[in-house]
């Protein structure tokens, strides 16, 4: 190699480690072959492989994993491992590996499914370290992806293993949890809960008729949807059940539990049910409203209530036209999947609600939009045609909604743009302002008393206070 590129190679090695082994050097030369100037090529490789942020040691825990992360390091114990031969398909690049290794990796913060294009130097139960790992989304949940360029090494038990990493036995136990704590970090869970809703549905799976049971579970902390592929004898609305080793699935960003063949489900009654922190009567009540700070902090929430002021009505609210095929909003007469279509009229509102502790965009469907707007779709359309401004409905919506307090009930989910909320119902808050005001006056009085008392006890503190 000539002298011009030697310094660049040196810098790459400094930033990224062994560039020969990881194939980064080959990639660098490929860019040069395309007549990319060496320093630009270096920059782009540094960006791609994360050299610019070497100063930040990016060792992540399972709970930190989000979609589409790049070039991080992770340690974990292998809980499951299997390999899958891939049939070579036409157009496959020569030399591409034909075996995919999949499994589950866990640390003390959770477990994550992974897939690897390289054979792993270890077996179930052993600890590995992966450098240059990536994530992607598969079946609505984050998946760890070990690529050809990732460096995988086995961490010997004892000296090399982080002390915090639990044993295989502990990690593969299906933890007993409260419903609120079930998240995408769990692959399987156990819990006790009351059945709030239940229905049977006949579906055809792989050409065979099957009955699936679906419904809603609740304990004192949260509600969660569930499905069961097995019959649940003796279980009905109002039953309290205990389930062991149920699978956790993600649907639209909200966790749900799935009872599979291996799940044990039993009905709890008599004195044992009396010992639980909840009963069917207590969980049947409307959920307690959450602050928006709490909604924002969670990845996905099922059937919760929160309220706030409308601080902004977002563009795209009002009368829209939807693709008859897929329901996407039609823009300029075309659907981005189905081209030119005859759109179907619909109304929706996207509003940002804010309670001073957090801020959450909330979607309202046609029915709820008509309710809070006070105009039907037809009335809105009439307004749209009577006014030369194409934003007449949007402006009208802003005038009616901006500032108002809305209490919404529905599901929250985390997308790549943060948490968003889909309303199932909406109402004006019903709390009594006079009661709240009196309570605040009491709190202010008792704070004053404390201040006076502390000054009496400690004159020094008083002086500082008054200075």
Partner 1 sequence: MLKREVAKRVFAKEFEAARNLEAPGRGVAPEPLPGGALRAEDRMGEKDSKTPNFLLSPLGLLINRVFVVGVLTEIDNVGEQNDMWKARVVDPTGAFTVYAGQFQPEASIFFSTVEVPAFVALSGKARVFEPEAGSVFVSVRAEEVNVVDEELRNRWVVDTAEQTVERLEAFSKALSSGFSGFELSEYLVKTGVPAELAEGISLALEQEGGRHHGEFLRQLGGALKEGLRALNLDSKDAEGAEADIKEFALELMREMGKGKGVDYGIFLKEAAFRGVPEETVEEAVRSLLAEGQCYEPRIGVIRPVS
Kindly tell me which of 81 and 397 has the beta carbon lying closer to partner 1: 397
CA distance 154 to 160: 9
Kindly tell me which of 167 and 454 has the beta carbon lying closer to partner 1: 454
Q: Which of residues 76-115 bind partner 1 (CB under 8 A)?
A: none
Q: Is 390 in the site for partner 1 (CB under 8 A)?
A: no
What are residue 347's DSSP bridge partners? 319
Residue whose token pair is 């029915």 = 367
Q: Which of residues 29-58 bind partner 1 (CB under 8 A)?
A: 52-53, 56, 58
Six-digit token string for 117: 């294009």
Q: Is 356 in the site for partner 1 (CB under 8 A)?
A: yes
Q: Is 443 in the site for partner 1 (CB under 8 A)?
A: yes
Dihedral, 44, 48, 51, 53 alpha carbons, nearest 10:
110
CA distance 103 to 114: 5
For residue 304, what is the DSSP state?
A: E
- Dihedrals φ, ψ of 26, to 5°? -60, -40
Residue 408 beta carbon to partner 1: minimum distance, rounded to whole angstroms: 16
* Pair 182, 242: CB distance under 8 Å: no
Give the residue, chosen from 137, 210, 311, 382, that forms a contact with partner 1 under the rule CB under 8 A.
311
Six-digit token string for 189: 């869970």
Burial class (CB in 10 A: 0-12, 13-18, 19+), 161: middle
Give the residue, chosen from 11, 220, 244, 299, that forms a contact with partner 1 under the rule CB under 8 A.
299
Q: Which of residues 358-387 bind partner 1 (CB under 8 A)?
A: 358-359, 361
CA distance 133 to 357: 35
Distance of CA 88 to the CA centre of its chain: 34
Q: Is 433 in the site for partner 1 (CB under 8 A)?
A: yes
Q: Where are the beta strands (DSSP E) in 283-333?
A: 300-313, 318-322
Residue 18 beta carbon to partner 1: minimum distance, rounded to whole angstroms: 23
Kindly tell me which of 65 and 189 has the beta carbon lying closer to partner 1: 65
Kindly tell me which of 43 and 245 has the beta carbon lying closer to partner 1: 43
Give the residue, chosen from 316, 331, 444, 449, that forms a contact with partner 1 under the rule CB under 8 A.
444
Kindly tell me which of 57 and 208 has the beta carbon lying closer to partner 1: 57
Q: Is 388 in the site for partner 1 (CB under 8 A)?
A: no
Helices (H), 185-339: 271-274, 280-284, 292-297
Q: Is 451 in the site for partner 1 (CB under 8 A)?
A: yes
Give the residue, chosen from 60, 182, 250, 323, that forms a contact with partner 1 under the rule CB under 8 A.
60
CA distance 110 to 107: 6
Angle among Cα 258, 263, 264 to the nearest 5 degrees reads 130
Residue 317 beta carbon to partner 1: minimum distance, rounded to whole angstroms: 13
Residue 22 beta carbon to partner 1: minimum distance, rounded to whole angstroms: 21
CA distance 273 to 215: 20
Kindly tell me which of 174 and 413 has the beta carbon lying closer to partner 1: 413
Please give the helix or strand (H or E) that residue 69 lies within, else none: none
Q: Name the residues that contact partner 1, by CB under 8 A.
A: 52-53, 56, 58, 60, 63-66, 69, 72, 292-293, 296-297, 299, 309, 311-312, 352, 354-359, 361, 398-399, 402-405, 414, 416-418, 429, 433-434, 436-437, 440-441, 443-444, 447-448, 450-451, 454, 461, 464-467
């Amino acid at each position: 190699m000539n002298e011009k590129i030697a310094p660049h190679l040196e810098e790459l090695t400094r930033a990224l480690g062994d560039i020969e082994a990881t194939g980064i050097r080959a990639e660098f030369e490929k860019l040069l072959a395309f007549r990319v100037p060496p320093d630009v090529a270096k920059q782009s490789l540094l960006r791609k492989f994360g050299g610019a942020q070497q100063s930040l040691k990016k060792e992540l825990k399972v709970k930190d994993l989000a979609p589409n992360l790049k070039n991080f390091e992770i340690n974990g114990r292998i809980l499951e491992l299997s390999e899958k031969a891939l049939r070579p398909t036409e157009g496959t690049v020569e030399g591409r590996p034909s075996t995919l290794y999949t499994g589950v990796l866990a640390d003390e913060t959770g477990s994550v499914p992974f897939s690897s294009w390289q054979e792993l130097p270890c077996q179930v139960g052993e600890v590995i370290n992966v450098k240059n790992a990536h994530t992607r989304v598969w079946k609505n949940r984050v998946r760890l992806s070990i690529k050809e360029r990732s460096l995988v090494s086995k961490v010997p038990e004892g000296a090399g293993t982080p002390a915090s990493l639990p044993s295989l036995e502990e990690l593969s136990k299906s933890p007993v949890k409260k419903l609120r704590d079930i998240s995408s970090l769990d692959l399987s869970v156990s819990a006790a809960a009351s059945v709030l809703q239940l229905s049977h549905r006949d579906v055809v799976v792989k050409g065979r008729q099957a009955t699936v049971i679906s419904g809603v579970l609740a304990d004192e902390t949260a509600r969660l949807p569930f499905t069961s592929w097995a019959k649940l004898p003796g279980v009905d609305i109002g039953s309290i059940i205990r389930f062991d080793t149920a699978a956790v699935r993600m649907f639209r960003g909200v966790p749900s539990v799935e009872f599979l063949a291996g799940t044990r489900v039993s009905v709890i009654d008599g004195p044992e049910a009396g010992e639980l922190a909840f009963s069917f009567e207590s969980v049947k009540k409307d959920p307690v409203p959450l602050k928006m700070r709490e909604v924002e902090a969670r990845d996905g929430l099922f059937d919760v209530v929160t309220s706030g002021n409308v601080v902004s009505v977002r563009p795209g609210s009002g009368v829209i036209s939807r693709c008859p095929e897929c329901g996407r909003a039609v823009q300029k007469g075309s659907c981005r999947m189905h081209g030119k279509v005859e759109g179907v009229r619909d109304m929706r509102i996207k509003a940002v609600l804010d309670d001073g502790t957090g801020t959450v965009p909330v979607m309202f469907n046609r029915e709820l939009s008509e309710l809070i707007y006070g105009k039907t779709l037809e009335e809105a359309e009439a307004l749209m045609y009577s006014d030369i401004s194409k934003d007449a409905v949007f402006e009208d919506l802003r005038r009616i909604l901006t500032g108002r307090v809305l209490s919404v009930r529905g599901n929250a989910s985390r997308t790549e743009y943060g948490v968003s909320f889909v309303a199932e119902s909406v109402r004006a808050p019903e709390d009594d302002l006079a009661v709240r005001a009196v309570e605040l006056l009491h709190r202010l009085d008792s704070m004053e008393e404390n201040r006076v008392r502390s000054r009496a006890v400690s004159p020094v503190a008083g002086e500082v206070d008054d200075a």
